[in-house]
Amino acid sequence: MTTTPIARASQARSLGRMLVVRVLGTVGILLVLSIIVFSMLHLAPGDIVKNLLGNRASSPEAIAAIRAQYNLDQPLYMQYLIWLGNTLTGDFGQSIRLQDSVSNVIGSRLGITAALSGFAFVLAVIVAVPLGVQSAVRSGSWIDRFATGFGIVGLSAPTFAVGLLLLYGFAFYVPIFPVYGSGDGGLDTLWHLVLPAITLALGLGAIILKLTRTAMLRELESDYVTFGRARGLPDHQVHMIALRNAAIPIVTGASLVLTFLVGGTVLAETTFALPGLGTLLQGSVLFKDIAVVQALTLLVAVTIATIALLADLAYIFLDPRIRAKEGAQ
């Protein structure tokens, strides 16, 4: 049946409303998270002023400067509104440990962490998805047994243990990859990130592999697959159709496992001496550098919320049934 222009316009308006609702929901979640992050300043053990002073001398002038800088003389709701306004403009305060603005501190390390996370995620996807598909298609074969073993090892092996094993092996026995530092930029940095990315990709890939195999097995048992094979469709075409229908749970799982990178990045960067956000967070927590911890926590929350929103939007393009359902509302 041909869709009329009026029907297409109605569907577009419905999808537009759905998009607005999802975006507003994400903004609401981020506002709640911002309140929680702001509360870290007041929930931290000890006196607020002493925590913000760090190792600096607690002279009356320094105390007065801290109280003025963080508006501690204002009511609590005013402190939050001022902090939120500064945060929206990129002003996260001053790092008491590094004596620099938090924005500069994070900006100087963001590139390494983003490159490491992206490298690890891409590596996990390009290995795990094809292996998961083949494991489902050839269930019970040696490929399936290999994939099952890979999944068990990836899920059970701690990130720091994998990192130490790779570091030891490639430092002493097969010295083809750098084992510490971030390199001098460009391809050299990418070369330095190979081992840390493998360390993170092992756990990520194991989860994505399990999700892909489970989703594909469910789709391969569907009636449309049986019908397609009965009509004489080639196996590769049937498998591609099944993979497309299995994409929604795979995308959902892949977006959720990205949160695994938060903890894994800290361990990988520490193991391979990478100057990224993971090591920055570790040092800031130990030093009680609250402004940096607040900014990093908010950055992680925004990243996860954005990924969740993009995953929701991806459903619309991956599954026409969802488009039809949303368009009919």
pLDDT tens for residues 245-302? 888 888 877 777 776 677 678 788 888 888 888 888 888 887 777 788 888 888 888 8
Residue 1: which pLDDT band, with cuts at 50, 70 and 90? very low
Q: Where are the alpha helices (DSSP H) in 75-182?
A: 76-88, 102-137, 142-156, 159-172
Specify the pLDDT at position 35. Answer: 87
Domain boundary assignment for the chain: 100-288
Q: What is the pLDDT of residues 204-261, one digit of tens each?
A: 888 889 989 988 888 888 888 888 888 888 888 888 888 888 888 888 777 777 766 7
Dist CA 224 CA 156 (whole Å): 36
Dist CA 309 CA 27 (whole Å): 10
Q: Residue 142, exposed/middle/buried by CB under 10 A (0-12, 13-18, 19+)?
A: exposed
Which of 68 and 127 is assigned the larger pLDDT?
A: 127
pLDDT more than 70, % of the chain:
85
Q: Is the dihedral of CA 35, 41, 44, 46 positive or negative?
A: negative
Q: Residue 2 pLDDT > 60, yes or no?
A: no
Dist CA 212 CA 136 (whole Å): 8
Dist CA 153 CA 206 (whole Å): 8
Own/partner long-range contacts of 142-149 (Cβ < 8 Å, ≥24 apart): 147/209, 147/213
Residue pair 274/116 in contact by the 8 Å Cβ criterion? yes
Q: What is the pLDDT of residues 70-125, one digit of tens each?
A: 777 778 788 888 888 888 888 888 887 777 888 898 988 888 888 888 899 899 98
Q: What is the pLDDT of residues 38-60, one digit of tens each?
A: 887 677 666 667 766 666 666 77
pLDDT more than 90, % of the chain:
3
- Find out if CATH 1.10.3720.10 is the number for domain 100-288: yes
Specify the pLDDT at position 314. Answer: 74
